[in-house]
Amino acid sequence: MPIALPPTCCISVNCVVLGFDSKKLNVLLEQREYLIDGKKVVDHMLPGGLMTDNEDLDEAATRLLHEKAGMRNLKMFQFKAYGSRSRIKGRNDIEWMKQQLGVEIVNPLTIGYASVGKIGRKLNLHNAPKGISWFPVEEALKMPLAFDHAILIQDAIKMLQYSIETDPIIVFNLMPLKFTALQLRTLYECIYRKELDVRNFKKKMKQYEYVVPLEEVEQGVAHRAARYYRFDRVKYKKYRRGMD
């Protein structure tokens, strides 16, 4: 049964979960279904929901991500609050709120949480409810998303760009344990949403002593086999200490 809530300001949480699959940066979206003029409408939204009276924001984000996507123990952090009345884009959002919440919320205040990781580790959908899926970010931003969720996704990516500039370890949390220069460049291109010069990227990559070349190359590929690299956390810590 829908829970009747007062048509005032309610606090909700939405989670922007970004995952890399070695080719594309993806975002986790939940399918929402509702009726307009008796016809079923299907579109997508970020996983989330309303905060309850007996939990704080971090607890709400953890609970909602588990309920919506079956994920536990993800490291998430707040990146922005959204409270504009223009967040409600039209009849679709209004009808969805009425049918799912039992009321139209006048000013839905939302706290954005973000998490990033490599798809296949903690970011898998083995225990996910029906209707939750990964979508390439560029594809998701062209879809009809609920409320201002396209803005949340873009803001989360901007936050990721800023985080890389201050602490690039976050990039390697998205990478497999061993990776090629192409895979690493592909991830940077996905995050910055533009193509990077191959030579300049390789030159910059060689400057990072914590990106260690391995005596191992790709196997069974049609093209010239690329060398593998790994991220060395010990060398990275020394690099960070040298910057302080």
DSSP code, position 85: G
Q: Would you say residue 5 lies in a domain?
A: no
Q: Would you say residue 171 lies in a domain?
A: no
Chain centroid to CA 57: how far?
18
Q: Which two tokens stand for residue 204?
A: 């910059």
- Give bridge partners of residue 11 from the DSSP assignment: 109
> CA-CA distance, 137 to 20, in Å (whole number)?
10
The 10s digit of each residue's pLDDT in 151-200 is 999 999 999 999 888 888 889 888 888 999 999 999 999 999 999 999 99
Whether residues 33 and 150 share a domain: the answer is yes
The 10s digit of each residue's pLDDT in 14-29 is 999 999 888 899 999 9
Q: Is the pTM of this model over 0.75?
A: yes
Q: Which of 165, 188, 204 is the last residue of a domain?
A: 165
Number of domains in the chain: 2
- Domain of residue 106 covers 11-165
Whether residues 125 and 148 share a domain: the answer is yes
Residue 8 has pLDDT above 60, yes or no: no
Q: Which of 118, 135, 165 is the last residue of a domain?
A: 165
Chain centroid to CA 84: how far?
22
Mean pLDDT of the chain: 87
> CA-CA distance, 8 to 76, in Å (whole number)?
28
Q: Which of 109, 139, 165 is the last residue of a domain?
A: 165
Residues 6+ apart with CB under 8 A from 4: 102, 103
Q: Which two tokens stand for residue 72?
A: 């536990």
The whole-number pLDDT of residue 121 equals: 62
DSSP code, position 226: P
The whole-number pLDDT of residue 213 equals: 92
Whether residues 148 and 182 share a domain: the answer is no
Question: What CATH code is carried by the domain that includes residue 115?
Answer: 3.90.79.10
